Amino acid sequence: MITKILKISLLLSISFSVCFSQEVKPGNLSLNHIIPKPLSVIAAQGKFELKPGTTFYYSKDAWAPTGVFTALLKKSTGLNFRTAALIEEKQGVFFITSDTLKSLGEEGYRLKISPQSIKVYAKTGAGIFNATQTLRQLLPVAIEGKKTNKANWTIPCGEITDKPRYSWRGYMQDVSRTFYGVDVMKKYMDVMALYKLNVLHLHLTDDQGWRIEIKKYPKLTSAKTTVFDASSDQPAERSGFYTQDQIRELVKYAATRNIRIIPEIDVPGHSWPTVLAYPELGVNQNHKPDYIFPFLDSWSHWGNQFTPNTLDPTNEKVYEFLDGVFTELAQLFPAEYIHFGGDEVRHVLWEKEPHVQAFMKEKSLKNTNELQSYFASRVSAIIKAKGKKPIGWNDILSDKKNLTKETAIMSWLGDEAIADAAKNGFYAVATPTDPFYFDITQADRNDGTMTDLAYGNINSIEKVYNYEPETGLNDEESKFVLGVQANQWTAITQELKDMNVQNFPRLLALAEIGWIPKVNRDLNLFKDRLNLNLSRLDALKIDYYKPGGYITGKWKPEELTNDYQNIEWDVTKKTYANGRIIAGFYYTSGANFMEIKKVELLENGKVVVQDEHIGIADKFRGTHKTKSFLYHLQLNNYNPKAKYTLRASVKGINGTDSKGNFTYNLSPFDRLNVIEPR
């Protein structure tokens, strides 16, 4: 019966398309604000209305995505929808999968919307899910609410045919440098799914922490490898790790949203927690300090940002250890790839060790690049033995002639790195620092955000949208580009609010370029759709970047003297909840810098919290010393009826010719449900 219904439905879909093509008029569907942009949209007259009792029919492979969609609808609409296995009916919403729809690929879909029905066709459940997210964006923004809303729940009539350009449309979350729990990652996957991003790359280990339970090696999740030392004064939620049960929970959640999670264990560099837990695996005896700490403290401990110890590529115990780790990862993550890092390995540490030099001579390895390829090949073989595909950062291509072609490359060092991989027959994910590192500023060096590791580039949303990953490649070489990915490194952007401001709305631009070819892109039309999607981000309680960032005021030469005096700014509109506050003083121009002695937050004229230390507002924007021009406050008893004022005691240094921006950024304690008012 179902097969017969499917054949009838597909036949009707052809005549339906013809009907639409004859009735095309300026309509609502053609004015949609869907991101990413659909491949084809044909408008028709009329609208379909969701009503109490509307029935959602599904074929076997469409059951799971249908359930996720109807659960969302019930929560926000309050309507009592019915779900049922596919039968022949004239009214309702139909989700139909069929192997005959090969032209749509694994994730494509076709939508046919009439006043009587919505019919969704796809080859797979993944295509059905993507169709539901398009329907979601065609509904009023109120659909994103957690409470029942009264709205006109209608969808304009017409036809949409759609499929993605790339199978890898990814986002990397660094949970090592700053840990984010299950609740945060679930919310991120909800938003990723809405914009049809389908890969979540979890950077689980780095010098700042090991973040996943490995049963065979329990020391990896001891306090000294997962909890920031007390001396760093970090909030508790920035430390921790995922238990294996939590990983299973995340993987299951991801699967229902057409997302696969790619785990990364970064070796042989960036392995400080590992050599602390199991010192015998290190290449040397340096284990100080005997704890983990935030990235920005690296210079005070090590004199630079890199660990003074790595895994020992000559030690068989290292490969035994990695075999045990990857065995458990392969069991936890059903995705086809396991990422093994391989970036920023300090070869100088290997060059200094006599036993390493002796090993290289024994193996006829000419240099440490060849030694790294030896290591990468050994690790790739271990991962392949688990039934998985290995992938690493493009640093591992330094000796490409000795690297197995079965190892995919995540290219972060520019267009040349993507070309280097593709031209040499390696599959590659395009994730260049410029423009896909979203921890980098997005307007200019004074864009008002709490970010930037002093990179030379500015990653504007325009640059993200206009990026073409296949630049310089011929058709054959382009086949090796798996897709695109944005990366969020949480060395500086530790607060969830700050991370959201860095990711959004740039992540929507990334979603679109991963979905449609460059010839179909139009920046101005994208910005029009983007502006309409900002209301959807508001409803989802996602902060995003606005011009000026957190800039709340400025200082000018006429406000300064050579002695301390107070400057005040009204911060009432920027004070909206209990939370942590950072007040920043960013010098922008002038012959003189400014000195700050004390910063106070006043509530109705009364001081409620202060930070007193000497700070200098100067040209410094790097990461190798403390940013003394940042002042930290905490508001525990917010009064929504109060007036809030920020008062700073400041003076000019050897003169008063100084200009700069004052930033004020409150990160609410209820970080998933409270955002800064527009």
| Span 474-516, pLDDT tens digits | 999 999 999 999 999 999 999 999 999 999 999 999 999 999 9
Gap between the Cα atoms of 188 and 100, Å rounded? 34
For 525, the token pair is 């039309």
φ/ψ bin of 194: left (φ > 0), alpha (ψ from -120 to 50), beta (otherwise): alpha
The answer to whether the beta carbons of residues 390 and 265 sit under 8 Å apart is no
- Residue 271 pLDDT more than 70? yes
pLDDT of 10 reads: 43
What's the confidence (pLDDT) of residue 11? 39
How many CA atoms are closer than 13 Å to the CA of 358, on its beta-carbon side?
4
The DSSP code for 660 is E
Q: Give the per-residue pLDDT at 453.
A: 65
Q: How far is it, in rounded angstroms, from Cα 610 to Cα 603?
A: 12
Of 203, 348, 223, 341, the residue nearest 273 (C-alpha)? 223
Q: pLDDT tens across 47-89, in order?
A: 999 999 899 999 999 999 999 999 999 999 999 899 999 998 8
557 prior amide bond cis, ω within 30: no
Q: Do 429 and 408 touch, CB atoms closer than 8 A? A: yes
| pLDDT for 317 beyond 70 | yes
Q: What is the pLDDT of residue 456?
A: 82
pLDDT above 90 covers a percentage of the chain that reads 87
Tokens of 127: 């295509």
pLDDT for the residue numbered 46: 95
For residue 667, the cross-strand partners are 580
How far apart are the C-alpha atoms of 643 and 331, rounded to whole Å?
A: 55
Amino acid 525: pLDDT: 96
Two tokens at 500? 């959201």
265 pLDDT tier (thresholds 50, 70, 90)? very high
* pLDDT of res. 455: 79
Give the residue carrying structure tokens 């964006």: 137
Angstrom distance (rounded) from CA 634 to CA 608: 9
Q: Please tell me the predicted confidence (pLDDT) of residue 452.
A: 63
Structure tokens at 223: 């306090």
Element (H, E) at 191: helix 182-194
pLDDT, averaged across the chain: 93
Q: Which residue has the higher pLDDT, 19 or 239?
A: 239
Identity of the amino acid at 219: K
State how far the Cα of 594 lies from the Cα of 566, in Å rounded to an integer: 13
Question: What is the per-residue pLDDT for 146?
Answer: 82
* Residues 441 and 506 sit within 8 Å (Cβ to Cβ): no
Number of other CB atoms surrounding residue 183 within 10 Å: 10
DSSP letters for 459-476: --HHHHHH--TTTT--HH
Instruction: Provide, rounded to the nearest whole percent, the portion of the chain with pLDDT above 70.
Output: 96
Torsion sign over Cα 523, 132, 71, 33 = positive
For 147, phi and psi rounded to 5 degrees? -110, 160
pLDDT at residue 16, rounded to an integer: 34
> Which whole-number Å values give the CA distances from 306 to 299, 349, 481, in the listed order?
9, 11, 30
3-state secondary structure 575-629: CCCCEEEEEEEEEEECCCCEEEEEEEEEECCEEEEEEEEEEEECCCCCCCCCCCC
**Residue among 150, 151, 129, 156 nearest 140 (CA):** 151
**Spatial contact of 175 and 210, defined as CB atoms under 8 Å apart:** no
3-class SS at 44? strand
pLDDT at 445: 85
Which pair of structure tokens corresponds to residue 599?
Answer: 């910063």
Q: What's the pLDDT tens digit per position in 584-614?
A: 999 999 999 999 999 999 999 999 999 999 9
Q: Detail the DSSP E strand segments found in 215-361.
A: 260-267, 337-341
Overall residue count recorded for the chain in this entry: 678
Global pTM exceeds 0.75: yes
Higher pLDDT, 254 or 22: 254
CA 30-169-187 angle, to 5 degrees, is: 85
Q: pLDDT for 445-458, tens place per residue?
A: 889 998 766 678 89
List, by residue number, the catalytic residues: 206, 270, 344
Which H or E run contains 539? helix 523-539
Tell me the pLDDT tens digit for each residue of 610-643.
Answer: 999 999 999 987 777 788 999 999 999 999 999 9
Rounded to whole angstroms, the Cα distance separating 291 from 224 reads: 5
What is the predicted pLDDT for the residue at 625?
A: 79
State both tokens at 647.
């008062």
Name the pLDDT band for 365 (thresholds 50, 70, 90): very high
Task: Output the DSSP codes for 641-656.
Answer: TS-EEEEEEEEESSSS
pLDDT tens column, 179-205: 999 999 999 999 999 999 999 999 999
Across 275-284, 352-361, 599-608, 617-626, least confident range:
617-626
- Measure the CA angle with vertex 663, ends 449 and 626; round to 5°: 75
Binned at pLDDT 50, 70 and 90, residue 671 comes out as very high
3-state secondary structure of 254: helix
The DSSP bridge partners found for residue 212 are 242
At residue 15, the pLDDT reads 34
Three-state SS annotation for 92-161: EEEEEECCCCHHHCCCCEEEEECCCEEEEEECCHHHHHHHHHHHHHHCCHHHHCCCCCCCCCEEEEEEEE
Q: Element (H or E) spanning 552, and its range?
A: strand 551-555
Question: Which tens digit of pLDDT belongs to each residue from 121-135?
Answer: 999 999 999 999 999
Q: Which two tokens stand for residue 164?
A: 């993605």
The pair of three-digit structure tokens given for residue 479, joined into one six-digit string: 């086949």
Take residue 529 and report the two structure tokens written for it.
């759709």
DSSP state of 479: T
Encode pLDDT of 204-220 as tens digits.
999 999 999 999 999 99
Q: Are 670 and 543 in contact (CB under 8 A)?
A: no
Q: What distance in Å separates the CA atoms of residue 184 and residue 178, rounded to the nearest whole number?
A: 12
